[in-house]
Amino acid sequence: MHGPLRDSHGRIMRDLRVSVTDRCNFRCLYCLPETEEAADFYRTRFDGLRQPVTPIASATPIHREWKPKSEILSFEEITRVVRIAVGLGIEKVRVTGGEPLLRQGVDRLIGSLSALAGIRDLAMTTNGALFAPQATRLRAAGLDRVSFSMDSLDRDNFRRMTGRDGLAGVLEGIRLARELGFHPVKVNAVVIRGMNDHEIPALAGFAAEHDLSLRFIEFMPLDSSRAWQKGLVVPGREILERLRGGFELHPVDASANPSETARRWRLGGGRGEVGIIAPVSEPFCGHCNRLRLTADGKLRTCLFSLDEHDLKPLLRGGGSDDALAALLHDRVRHKEAGHRIGQADFVQPQRSMSCIGG
């Protein structure tokens, strides 16, 4: 018998992020900045910051190729890993990518996962571009919640940040998610200084207008071009001050869930909520209860892990459920105390967010 997944720091794992593909149809500035506009931004922005930077043209890129289908876990393999993890205390499962809706038939996986006893929250994070045509099937399959990535409400700025003219599709996806009864509907916005930080009030106003949960997220060093600079981070404290300048904020008590990553506030008027996720300026590693399963079957104990643990040899080599459970226990015991962003010895992971899973 295996008990709960407890690490050497006393944290018990309850949350599993499952990436189903490393592919993405967006080229976001903070993940896959492969457009000319992204390059121009990184080339020109730093003069204004008066901060030395290696030009993106000569920066050392992370080698990235999409994984072949043979290396990607099947839905059956994913379901097996999740079933074992749920038996060890995992309660929340979030399906991610890349862009998860690029994976054909992902609603079938949702159906398999929703049938597992013990999952109390089954969610998905998507950029929203492909959500509307699949929304009804996902809801019927058992998806509880959905989070959309939307970093701008301005069509041109949205295109600059994502490399795609896709704002209208994301807005339609959000509207449809609310209509279908997904609740709460969350929207995530990565804030980058000089790119979209001027839109903080507008995004909060959008959350109030449509009764959404809006999460502002600090820019993290997970881009494929290694162009991240701390000067582009808008700290959570600054985001909060900008919000207080235009909104009445009522703190949400999160004491019942110490592993909550966002500090949250209800917006005055009783509609909508904002949260701030500040992993760079205010790390919350001490209460982290998350694990990540990459699309190619690697277990990551931290978003910024430098080591991954391949589950495929057991999954495809006849390993028993007990052997997989023992491996999960062993790896969790060695979970990092926390990431080291801002420390002199910080090393950025070799894989970008698209490959790791959000």
Is residue 194 one of the residues assigned to a domain?
A: yes
Q: Is the pLDDT of residue 222 over 80?
A: no
Q: Is the pLDDT of residue 57 over 70?
A: no
pLDDT score at 42:
63
Q: Which residue has the higher pLDDT, 37 or 262?
A: 262
Residues 6+ apart with CB under 8 A from 9: 286, 335, 337
Is residue 338 one of the residues assigned to a domain?
A: yes
Q: Is the pLDDT of residue 358 over 50?
A: yes
Find how far residue 343's CA is from the centre of its chain. 23
Q: Which of 2-11, 23-32, 210-219, 326-335 has the lowest mean pLDDT?
A: 23-32
Is residue 10 one of the residues assigned to a domain?
A: no
pLDDT score at 256:
76
pLDDT in tens, 166-192: 999 999 999 999 999 999 999 999 999
Count up the domains in the chain and report the number. Answer: 1
Q: What pTM value is reported for the model?
A: 0.88
For 16-54, b/e burial (b = at least 16 CB within 10 A) is bbbbbbbbbbbbbbbbbbbbeebbebbeebbeeeeeebe
pLDDT in tens, 131-167: 999 999 999 999 999 999 999 999 999 999 999 999 9
Q: Domain with 158 in it: what CATH number? A: 3.20.20.70
pLDDT score at 346:
60
| Domain carrying residue 34 | 15-356
Average pLDDT of the residues of the chain = 87
Residue 227 binned pLDDT confidence (cut-offs 50, 70, 90): low
Is residue 2 one of the residues assigned to a domain?
A: no
Is residue 73 one of the residues assigned to a domain?
A: yes
Is residue 345 one of the residues assigned to a domain?
A: yes
Residue 55 binned pLDDT confidence (cut-offs 50, 70, 90): very low
pLDDT in tens, 254-306: 877 877 788 999 999 878 999 999 988 876 677 899 999 999 999 998 877 77
